[in-house]
Amino acid sequence: MSYSRLIVLCVFLCVDSFVGSNGVGVGAGDLSKEFLSYAKRQDFVDWLVGVRRRIHEYPELGYEEFKTSELIREELDNMGVRYRHPLAVTGVVGFVGTGEPPFVALRADMDALPMQELVEWEHKSKVPGKMHACGHDAHVAMLLGAARILQEHKKHIQGTVVLLFQPAEEGGCGAKRMIDEGALENVDAIFGLHVTPHIPAGVVASRPGPLLAGSGFFEAVIYGKGGHAALPQYSIDPILAASNVVISLQHLTSREADPLDSQVVTVAKFKGGEALNVIPESVTIGGTFRTFSKASFAKMKHRVKEVIINQAAVHRCNATVDFFQKDMPYFPATINDKSLHNHFVDVAGGLLGTNMVHNMERLMGSEDFAFYQEVIPGEFYFVGVGNSNNFETAHTPYFQINEDALPSGAALHASLASEYILRHTRRVPSHEEL
């Protein structure tokens, strides 16, 4: 073997394998198994569950996650992980690895919901009217867990993992603000997760292409003429007009939309009048509309406004419609990159077992992770936190999670990033190519 070929072979082997703590070569899949073994250590599990419970006890709403942000920075300091702060008011961006390409990001959202927790347990929310009812406390804990795993094995990370701790996912467009403030600088790809009680702990699920719908919100005020309820002929009844508006809006999906193009319009707010014998001057309605394509979204937005204004006019009322474009930009559809999805399936299957990786149906819920996917390729997946107790779904005061899922979720997050870096590190050409 020639000297030059020997050099090429040696470098090639360095690119394709790692050296473990015992001096034995560790391949990519073996490193993931090492991550999982590390994540199952009792000291790590106790720390990880403790972090989640600390966050759960003190939930904070969007752009108010100051205590959560402080906890994150304290934990990163303890690990020796460098970070930027603040971004988007309370956001934190951490960095593990060489500081050089390739760059891959992992994201967790931090905010809670304005909801009173009704689950009685030792670590119930201590903040009245606020609760982690969507599992973001678990998301932060798993990303911190991934950070600790990666930092403990940083000699194997021949690139940079960017850790995005993001505020205000629940309607505050925190992802968009993080992007605007430079959170994705140099980043080539991003992975995000969400817990779900609908699949058992230990199982993960996703799909390529459209996964979650794009969404928008609207609020309309329908103006009539108030008067005595016993003399409706002297009034213009906005309640009647608003009622017909709601019915007509439902026709947009049942009569106008392609049945194979999933769409939803839901009126979730209807407010008008106080007295039982007075026709009010106005009625306010509001809700959401969701689609998977931009074309369908644009058409739906146009028709929502058109139906509200014209149906109000039929009943001699006037109407104004607000889509909150300034304060709540539309969420795009969450569309998983096919290549990154294949990477997810491969890594998760190797780590957890192929039977623990499920293909899931599309959902009409939405996620501001989609803003990242509009800038760079991304993969969003779900981590099962259910058990035989059949936990309530998210966004309810009875929401719970099975904490047994936290260690494997942290290990999978770390593995997705580390193996992405390995597979995208510049490979040395073969002897023939030279």
Contact 213, 292 (CB under 8 A): yes
pLDDT on residue 325: 84
From its phi and psi, is residue 135 left (phi > 0), alpha (psi between -120 and 50) or beta?
Answer: left
Q: Which helix (H) or strand (E) holds 98?
A: none
CA–CA separation, 375 and 396 (whole Å): 32
- Residue 186 backbone dihedrals phi, psi, to 5 degrees: 75, -5
Tell me, yes or no, if the pTM score tops 0.85.
Answer: yes
Domain 214-322 bears CATH identifier 3.30.70.360? yes
∠197-198-201 over CA atoms, to 5°?
60
Tokens of 23: 């001096």
pLDDT digits (tens, 9 = 90+) for 368-377: 999 999 999 9
Match 């309530």 to its residue by tokens: 392
Helix (H) and strand (E) counts in the chain: 11, 18
**Burial class of residue 299 (count of CB atoms within 10 Å of its CB; 0-12, 13-18, 19+):** middle
HSE of 177, CA atoms in CB hemisphere, 13 A: 23
Q: Which helix (H) or strand (E) holds 289?
A: strand 282-291
Cis preceding linkage at 210, omega within 30:
no
∠199-202-208 over CA atoms, to 5°?
65
Contact 116, 195 (CB under 8 A): no
Q: Which residues contact 168 (CB under 8 A, 6 or more apart)?
A: 62, 63, 88, 89, 109, 111, 174, 177
The segments of the chain whose pLDDT lies below 50 read 1-25, 427-434
Spans of all domains in the chain: 7-211+334-424, 214-322
Q: Which helix (H) or strand (E) holds 347?
A: helix 338-352
Contact 424, 214 (CB under 8 A): no
In sequence order, the β-bridge partners of residue 82 are: 95
State the amino acid at position 235 in one-letter form. Answer: S
Of 127, 121, 128, 163, nearest in space to 401 by CA: 121
pLDDT on residue 27: 55
From its phi and psi, is residue 204 left (phi > 0), alpha (psi between -120 and 50) or beta?
Answer: beta
What is the architecture of the domain spanning 7-211+334-424? 3-Layer(aba) Sandwich (3.40)
CA–CA separation, 327 and 230 (whole Å): 41
Q: Which residues contact 316 (CB under 8 A, 6 or more apart)?
A: 224, 236, 241
How far from each other are the two terminal CA atoms of the chain, in whole angstroms?
15
Tokens of 304: 């929502």
pLDDT digits (tens, 9 = 90+) for 60-76: 999 999 999 999 999 99
CA–CA separation, 89 and 168 (whole Å): 10
The dihedral formed by the CA atoms of 206, 209, 212 and 216, expressed in degrees to the nearest 10? 160
